[in-house]
Copies of this chain bind each other. A is one copy, B any other.
Amino acid sequence: MISIIRPGVEGSELLARRLVAVRGRRLDRAQLEGLGLETVREFHEPGCEVFPPDPQRAQVQLLVSGIVGEVRRLADGRRQILSLRLPGELLVPSGSETFVALTPVRLADGLALMMRLAEASEAHQPLRRAWISASRVDDALLRDQVVRLGRMSAYERVSHLLLEAHERLAQIGLATETTFHFPLTQEALSDAAGLSVVHLSRTVQTLRRRGLITSGRGFVRLLDRPALVEAAGFVSRFPMPWRPCDARRDPAAPERQALSRQGGDRRPRLVDVGTGGADRAG
């Protein structure tokens, strides 16, 4: 299976896929050349804050692999994850939030990309426009988060969150039609969903008992997507609804095997341990 920790794809490729997905249009790969995105710069253990590595280093980073949470903390220690950041996304620090690695993470310097986006050069208008589309999608996702937290039950929130994660990962080729690697702690998930860990755990189990998902070893499988969509009132924020099996088979294929032997990441954090043998069948 595909690993989000080691996707087997370059960061710029993931960025490109994302820009294509948010715009629903092709993008000339030349637009992303010469940005120095190949050289991965950081590696963080889960729980670490991602910014700032050094003050003088770039303040914008491209997430190449792993999952990062955009976090706000309250005085008494309560934590809210504002958004989950997935590979191919740019992390721009913004005052009141911190970026926290929720899994092992690799980053690339995003400064050159940021500067290319800022300059209004004629040659890079397609990139610029794609970027604007990406920002709009990000914005819509943040508003989804508001609605999730404000008006949805725990059951709906978790379903919605999983559907969103699945779609976003699918768009960049890091999910199959039903399955994706999502090695988050239940504590992280609960902070994203605005729930207590305990209640999140129970909610996930309800989803499993009802046969909507299975999960374990950091993988989630959506057994009945239509039912989940129905339960969560899920609406896609991408211009094109995702459909499986297009550009997703070829470039990501290399390390299907390597992962499961090694256990994926050193700290094998699981969404949950699964119901025994429920999640074989690949």
A residues lining the B interface (CB < 8 Å): 72, 74-75, 78-80, 82, 94-97, 120, 136, 139-140, 142-143, 145-147, 149-152, 193-194, 233, 235, 237
Instruction: Find chain B residues with CB under 8 A from A139 CB.
Output: 94
Assess A136 versus B194: contact at CB under 8 Å? Given A146-B80, A146-B145.
no
Report Cα–Cα, A14/B94, bound state, in Å: 26
A–B Cβ pairs within 8 angstroms, 10 of them? A72-B147, A74-B152, A78-B151, A79-B151, A80-B146, A94-B140, A96-B237, A142-B146, A150-B193, A151-B194
- Selected from B72, B78, B152, the residue in CB contact (under 8 A) with A143 is B72
Task: Assess the B233–A74 pair: CB atoms within 8 A.
Answer: yes
Assess A151 versus B95: contact at CB under 8 Å? Given A146-B146, A233-B74, A233-B75.
no
Assess A151 versus B74: contact at CB under 8 Å? Given A82-B146, A142-B142.
yes
Task: Assess the B96–A140 pair: CB atoms within 8 A.
Answer: yes
Task: Assess the A80–B140 pair: CB atoms within 8 A.
Answer: no
Assess A194 versus B150: contact at CB under 8 Å? Given A72-B143, A74-B233, A142-B142.
yes
Instruction: Find chain B residues with CB under 8 A from A233 CB.
Output: 74-75
Report Cα–Cα, A171/B120, bound state, in Å: 33
Instruction: Find chain B residues with CB under 8 A from A95 CB.
Output: 140
Smallest Cβ-Cβ distance to A139: which chain B residue? B94
Report Cα–Cα, A236/B161, bound state, in Å: 29
Task: Assess the A74–B147 pair: CB atoms within 8 A.
Answer: yes
Of A72, A74, A146, the most chain B CB neighbours within 10 A belong to A146
Rounded to whole Å, the gap between the CB of A235 and the closest CB of chain B is 7
Instruction: Find chain B residues with CB under 8 A from A120 CB.
Output: 120
Task: Assess the B149–A150 pair: CB atoms within 8 A.
Answer: yes
Instruction: Find chain B residues with CB under 8 A from A235 CB.
Output: 96
Task: Assess the A80–B151 pair: CB atoms within 8 A.
Answer: yes
Report Cα–Cα, A151/B150, bound state, in Å: 10
Report Cα–Cα, A96/B142, bound state, in Å: 12
Given A74-B147, A150-B194, 11 more pairs with CB closer than 8 A:
A72-B147, A74-B152, A75-B233, A80-B147, A80-B150, A80-B151, A96-B140, A96-B143, A97-B143, A142-B143, A146-B149
Instruction: Find chain B residues with CB under 8 A from A152 CB.
Output: 74
- Selected from B74, B78, B94, B149, the residue in CB contact (under 8 A) with A149 is B149
Report Cα–Cα, A79/B143, bound state, in Å: 13
Instruction: Find chain B residues with CB under 8 A from A140 CB.
Output: 94-96
Instruction: Find chain B residues with CB under 8 A from A72 CB.
Output: 143, 146-147
